Amino acid sequence: MANLLDKNDRAVRAFIASAVATCGAGIPIYIRNDSRDRAQDNGGLVDVDTTAGPESPVGSGCYMVNVMVRAKMPAATQPGQGANDNHTLIGALTKAVHDVLHQTDNYQDYQATAQGITDAAYALAAAPVDPADADLAHYSCLAVVHNSLTGGKPQDEASISFVELINFQMLIAGVGNLR
């Protein structure tokens, strides 16, 4: 069984996949524990990275974790592109991911987003393409809290890329059917 941070990465990836696909079917979504090369070629990419957070409340088995979703697109104009095409694409990609992560059914919180992430995890567990995803039956997202939307810098300063970051927190548990 994978650790809870890895489960969360996979649940968020599953939840945002359809939004990312609206910006380009070939845009990959990586998770933190994915060793594949992040080469962009002529398209963009998305990274999901869940980092540690405290148990909340103490003794509950629920954790308030920090999550960063990074959208990255090459800034250099590629052959056959217009001068502003990649700027337009990073804007569309960031908007699509931002919008799907800001779903509400009451205009007061993001419980609809939390439920959508949980549902995406359960869908993967019910019919796993990767057998490792069966462990997502033991996962629940209880709340989503947004922190910031900010631009970022590429990890490799020699790289010329547009980078946008969406940072938020999630209250998650390693047990299923808490909703």
Q: Is residue 113 part of a domain?
A: yes
pTM here? Answer: 0.90
Q: Is residue 96 part of a domain?
A: yes
Strands 161-173 and 45-51: unpaired
Residues of the domain holding 165:
4-173
Of 109 and 84, more confident: 109
> Residue 162: its pLDDT value, please?
86
Q: Is residue 179 part of a domain?
A: no
* DSSP summary character for residue 38: -
> Residue 129: its pLDDT value, please?
87
- CATH number for the domain including 145? 3.30.70.1700
pLDDT band at residue 24, thresholds of 50, 70 and 90? confident
Q: Is residue 52 part of a domain?
A: yes
Q: Is residue 77 part of a domain?
A: yes
Domain count, the chain: 1
How much of the chain, in percent, has pLDDT values that exceed 90? 59
Q: Is residue 83 part of a domain?
A: yes
- Residue 100 near residue 151 (C-beta atoms within 8 A): no
Return the half-sphere exposure (C-beta side, CA atoms, 13 A cut-off) of residue 109: 10
Q: Is residue 178 part of a domain?
A: no
Q: Is residue 125 part of a domain?
A: yes
pLDDT digits (tens, 9 = 90+) for 58-107: 999 999 999 999 999 888 777 777 878 888 889 999 999 999 999 999 98
> Residue 1: its pLDDT value, please?
38
**How many residues does the structure list for the chain?**
179
